[in-house]
Chains A and B, each alone.
Chain A
Amino acid sequence: MTKKIQKLSRRQFVAAAAAGTAMASGALGFPSITRAASTVKLGVVHPVTGFLQFSGTQCRFGALMAIEEINAAGGIESLGGAKLEVVLGDAQSKAEVGAAEVEKFNEAGVSAIVGAYASGICLATTQAAAKYGIPHVVDVGVNDKIVGRGLENTFRFGPGFGNITKAGTDGLIAINNAAGNPTKTVVIVHENTTPFGSYMAGLMKKGLEPAGFEVMDVLPHPTPNKDFRNIALKIKELNPDLVIPSHYYNEGVLFLRTLQRQRVVPKAIYSVLGGASSQYRFLTEFPDAAQYVLDCNHWFDPRNQKAQALRQKTEAAGKSFSYEVFLAYTAVRFAADAMERAGSADRGKIIEAMAASTWSDHFMPYGETRMVNGQNQGALPMVLQVQGKEIEVVHPPRFKTSSAVFPRPA
């Protein structure tokens, strides 16, 4: 048998070399060398359908506003003005669906992900993103396990459970002390369907009892929940000084309205991540139920004009300026700033930039960003109170816009 040796023509050789170079570049992951990046893909995933749909759509709105503003201002300057190209995902209020959306994001070649509102969904999406080394900025999800698992790709710009309950407890103690300690007995009401309410309630109880408060009972409820009359009756029987609720928006509204309907009037309602308590929408629709309710929650720096401008823009679009909007907005801004610092759309470089970020050009009361194990150390909540037609900051003192009305007038 004779071996046939095919001689390559010069044309064939050049074509093969070009193909080989392109393949090698792709395999080595140097897209910025072989092509000019005109867009950088950003995955944005939230529960825009299902029982968390209100909060999810608010988050998505905030994220899209930030993307639009960044692009209008010229995009990512260090990437030649590359615009942010959003890849949207719907977690359908389910953790497994959120994780599936991350798989799609990876297929689409996103450089980073922002999302996914609820703690349970964030736990899944960050884990899925970690498989592919995709940087993931958590916008809201407060469960401390989100950033406590050693995933190098995961960053949370806002505060977590531990920080929020400590701030909530400290705020309550300070407000109670300032008023001459009128409240002592407490009933905690919380949702127990997602990894948010139960954990929050446990931390609150641990923080309040050493401070001299007596936790008479802890009353869990599912999410969604269509009836709070039993809980209202139990609170009526126990007659605590203080009720501390912790749930999502829909349940928050129904709970506060039920207390009002059943004439259950504790000395104060002090919610921690109360869902409805510091929402302008609730204040507008049910002003009587909302009056004097205190809430330890995410909030912007009230002195910052950028926050006020964003509020006006949000309300002009017919949306309520809720924590979901401004947290998702700042999460996208944080991600974009990291891309700017990295000067690259490469996932690994963006992770490094996020970990070393010192971003301070934001309107949250967090100061200069400092990430430790993915958690922004300066992040903190504020204690808010509905007074008249406004939501005032009543604690901490350096951000106060009004003094707390505590206990509420009879």
Chain B
Amino acid sequence: MEFLGIEIPLYSWSTVIGSAISGVFLGAIYALVALGLTLIYGVLHIINFAHGSLLMLAMYAVFFLWHLFGIDPYLAMLIVVPGGFLFGYGLQRSVIGKASHGRDEIVLLVTLGVAIVIENAALFLFTANERSVQVPYDLDGIDLGVTFVVWPEIAALAGSLLITLALWSFMTRTDTGKAIRAVAKERQGARLVGINVEHIFAVSFGIGTACVAAAASLLAPTYAVNPQFGYLFVLIAFTIVVLGGMGSFVGALVGGFIIGITEQLGRLFLGESLGLITISVIFILILLFRPTGLFGQKV
């Protein structure tokens, strides 16, 4: 079949459905990476260029916990998530916040600088070799007929749903969550009612980093890590944050699934390289009709 001069191959329904299902699981992974990013943007109003590097660092942490101590990647979440929070809190409080002097344009450059430092430090310390975690349940899973889904992929999907629910509950039902929403909405007003804005910024950055650390635990059984690992996902995560609505967790989740399914079906019919164009097409189409994103607040 030909469309606009491009030869479109025809596949059986089982292959198409199998591709769509794989898109759901891929989308879950994208959502995991995008959740932390959308929180940081929603509160600090900064695009965190260090997000991919933080994901890479967390993946290395999961790898070394497995390699040195034999800790399963999912159990490692109990260590890397609080560790990620503390690291992100410290990074915002001691480095990004101080270096930026409160100016958004400087924050962008600072996060870019942090990304470069982290990547090169990883290259120096861990070398360029890919590191893979091997788990005994890597090949076990559920046969859906049209495709086989392994437990690590199911765990990533469940993880993305649970983390979204946890973040939403935290933001709506806890005092800290309310403080974060207040700062995101009106920074000066929050300061005037006694909220420590710098502390809230750091908490938000910490939670964003903790989300990325959780994502790392869920990704480790499937993907090998190297110092460039962050680039594989973070560029699409930025797209999902905008698509879903900046600051919206549900938007990041739904956006992740939309992009994942679109990407997989696009790559199925248009080829693995050209198919990526469908991400841009769906992104533009959605923003045409919803400029603030799917779940973004109207201006």
**A contacts, CB < 8 Å to B:** 48-51, 53-54, 56-57, 192-193, 219-222, 224-227, 229-231, 233-234, 236-237, 249-250, 253-254, 257, 260-263, 285-286, 288
Binary per-residue interface labels of chain B (4-21) against chain A in the complex, 1 for a CB within 8 Å, 0 otherwise? 000000011011001100
Query: How long is the Cα–Cα vector from A101 to B86 in the complex, in angstroms?
Result: 41
Q: How far is the CB of A53 from chain B (nearest CB, A)?
A: 3
Given known pairs A231-B272, A236-B15, the reply for A262 and B134 (CB within 8 Å) is no
Given known pairs A221-B273, A262-B148, the reply for A227 and B22 (CB within 8 Å) is yes
Q: How far is the CB of B5 from chain A (nearest CB, A)?
A: 18
Query: How long is the Cα–Cα vector from A286 to B136 in the complex, in angstroms?
Result: 11
Asked if B174 lies at the interface with its beta carbon under 8 angstroms from chain A, I say no
Asked if B170 lies at the interface with its beta carbon under 8 angstroms from chain A, I say no
Which residues of A sit under 8 angstroms from B127, Cβ to Cβ?
57
Q: How far is the CB of B244 from chain A (nearest CB, A)?
A: 20
- Scoring B123, B233, B273 by chain A CB atoms within 10 A of each residue's CB, the highest score goes to B273
A-B contact count (CB 8 A): 91
Which residues of B sit under 8 angstroms from A219, Cβ to Cβ?
272
Which residues of A sit under 8 angstroms from B286, Cβ to Cβ?
none
Given known pairs A56-B128, A57-B127, A261-B150, the reply for A230 and B19 (CB within 8 Å) is yes
Given known pairs A54-B128, A233-B147, the reply for A220 and B272 (CB within 8 Å) is yes
Query: How long is the Cα–Cα vector from A234 to B134 in the complex, in angstroms?
Result: 26
CB of B272 within 8 A of CB of A286, answer no
CB of A262 within 8 A of CB of B147, answer yes
Which residues of B sit under 8 angstroms from A49, Cβ to Cβ?
123, 128, 227-228
Given known pairs A48-B128, A262-B147, A285-B132, the reply for A229 and B273 (CB within 8 Å) is no
Binary per-residue interface labels of chain B (244-266) against chain A in the complex, 1 for a CB within 8 Å, 0 otherwise? 00000000000000000000100
Q: How far is the CB of B240 from chain A (nearest CB, A)?
A: 15
- Scoring B19, B127, B128, B139 by chain A CB atoms within 10 A of each residue's CB, the highest score goes to B128
CB of A233 within 8 A of CB of B148, answer no
Query: How long is the Cα–Cα vector from A229 to B29 in the complex, in angstroms?
Result: 14
CB of B11 within 8 A of CB of A234, answer yes
- Contacting A at CB under 8 A, from B195-244, are 223-224, 226-228, 232-233
Query: 10 nearest interchain CB pairs?
Result: A53-B128, A221-B272, A229-B22, A57-B128, A222-B273, A237-B15, A233-B18, A226-B232, A230-B268, A233-B15
Which residues of B sit under 8 angstroms from A249, Cβ to Cβ?
130
A–B Cβ pairs within 8 angstroms, 24 of them: A49-B128, A53-B128, A53-B226, A53-B228, A54-B128, A54-B130, A54-B226, A57-B127, A57-B129, A192-B273, A220-B273, A221-B272, A222-B272, A224-B232, A225-B272, A226-B233, A229-B19, A230-B22, A230-B267, A231-B272, A234-B11, A253-B130, A261-B141, A286-B134
Q: How far is the CB of B103 from chain A (nearest CB, A)?
A: 31
Asked if B34 lies at the interface with its beta carbon under 8 angstroms from chain A, I say no
Which residues of B sit under 8 angstroms from A261, Cβ to Cβ?
138-139, 141, 148, 150
Q: How far is the CB of A359 from chain B (nearest CB, A)?
A: 31
CB of A285 within 8 A of CB of B11, answer no
Which residues of A sit under 8 angstroms from B148, Cβ to Cβ?
261-263
Which residues of B sit under 8 angstroms from A50, Cβ to Cβ?
228
Which residues of B sit under 8 angstroms from A260, Cβ to Cβ?
139
Asked if B58 lies at the interface with its beta carbon under 8 angstroms from chain A, I say no
Q: How far is the CB of B172 from chain A (nearest CB, A)?
A: 34
Query: How long is the Cα–Cα vector from A237 to B224 in the complex, in angstroms?
Result: 28
Asked if B102 lies at the interface with its beta carbon under 8 angstroms from chain A, I say no
Given known pairs A226-B223, A229-B264, the reply for A237 and B132 (CB within 8 Å) is no
Q: How far is the CB of B215 from chain A (nearest CB, A)?
A: 14
Query: How long is the Cα–Cα vector from A234 to B26 in the complex, in angstroms?
Result: 17
Asked if B271 lies at the interface with its beta carbon under 8 angstroms from chain A, I say yes
Which residues of A sit under 8 angstroms from B134, Cβ to Cβ?
285-286
Residue of B nearest to A253 (CB): B224
Which residues of A sit under 8 angstroms from B150, Cβ to Cβ?
261
Query: How long is the Cα–Cα vector from A201 to B123 in the complex, in angstroms?
Result: 33
Residue of B nearest to A257 (CB): B138
Q: How far is the CB of A57 from chain B (nearest CB, A)?
A: 5
CB of B128 within 8 A of CB of A230, answer no
Residue of A nearest to B12 (CB): A237
Query: How long is the Cα–Cα vector from A227 to B19 in the complex, in angstroms?
Result: 11
Q: How far is the CB of A342 from chain B (nearest CB, A)?
A: 34
Query: How long is the Cα–Cα vector from A262 to B14 in the complex, in angstroms?
Result: 13
Given known pairs A220-B273, A230-B264, A261-B150, the reply for A253 and B232 (CB within 8 Å) is no
Residue of B nearest to A225 (CB): B272
Which residues of A sit under 8 angstroms from B272, Cβ to Cβ?
219-222, 225, 230-231
Residue of B nearest to A263 (CB): B148
Query: How long is the Cα–Cα vector from A338 to B137 in the complex, in angstroms?
Result: 53
Query: How long is the Cα–Cα vector from A288 to B150 in the complex, in angstroms?
Result: 16
